């Protein structure tokens, strides 16, 4: 990917995260995001086909961190099984609360929600 395309992509993510923290996701349009990022609407749609795809991109890093953080919990010999479960559950609830608007946006778009679920929870 070209340097300017990568910069635009990062700009879109940064501006979107800021807007989504300030306002309800449903109240923000793609045109508003493009305007705030100082890019054309076509550039925005080339990167993200809709707000659901954009939301999925924003939540992706937190999701990776959650999975990495919790992948070792079942092998932690210092915790009982109940405490391992409690740890994972609390981490999930923290992740879910932090990303609630973004996850709802993804899940409410049935096509993106299906893609999100398959990509997230399918392991080789």
- The second-level CATH assignment, the architecture, of 1-48 is Orthogonal Bundle (1.10)
Task: Give the pLDDT of the chain (124 residues) as one tens digit per residue.
Answer: 788 888 889 999 999 999 999 999 999 999 999 999 999 999 999 999 999 999 999 999 889 989 988 887 777 788 888 988 898 999 999 999 999 989 988 888 755 545 544 444 444 4
Q: Residue by residue, what is the 3-state secondary structure of 33-58? A: HHHHHCCCHHHHHHHCCCHHHHHHHH
| pLDDT value, residue 42 | 94
| pLDDT value, residue 29 | 94
| pLDDT value, residue 122 | 46
| pLDDT value, residue 13 | 94
Sequence ranges of the domains in the chain: 1-48, 51-124
List CB contacts of 91: < 8 A, sequence separation 6 or more.
Answer: 66, 69, 70
Copy the structure tokens of residue 2.
């070209």
Nearest-5° Cα angle at 64, 27 to 36: 30
Copy the structure tokens of residue 1.
């990917």
Cα separation, 91 vs 72, in Å, equals 13
| pLDDT value, residue 35 | 97
Cα separation, 49 vs 42, in Å, equals 10
Looking at the whole model, is its pTM more than 0.75?
Answer: no
């Amino acid at each position: 990917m070209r340097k300017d395309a990568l910069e635009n992509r990062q700009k879109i993510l940064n501006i979107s995260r800021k807007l989504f923290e300030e306002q309800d996701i449903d109240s923000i349009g793609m045109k508003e995001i493009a305007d705030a990022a100082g890019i054309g609407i076509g550039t925005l749609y080339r990167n993200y086909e809709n707000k659901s795809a954009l939301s999925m991109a924003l939540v992706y890093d937190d999701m990776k961190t959650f999975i990495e953080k919790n992948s070792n919990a079942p092998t932690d010999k210092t915790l009982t099984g109940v405490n391992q479960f409690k740890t994972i559950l609390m981490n999930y609830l923290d992740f879910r609360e932090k990303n609630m608007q973004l996850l709802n946006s993804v899940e409410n778009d049935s096509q993106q929600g299906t893609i999100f679920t398959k990509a997230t929870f399918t392991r080789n």
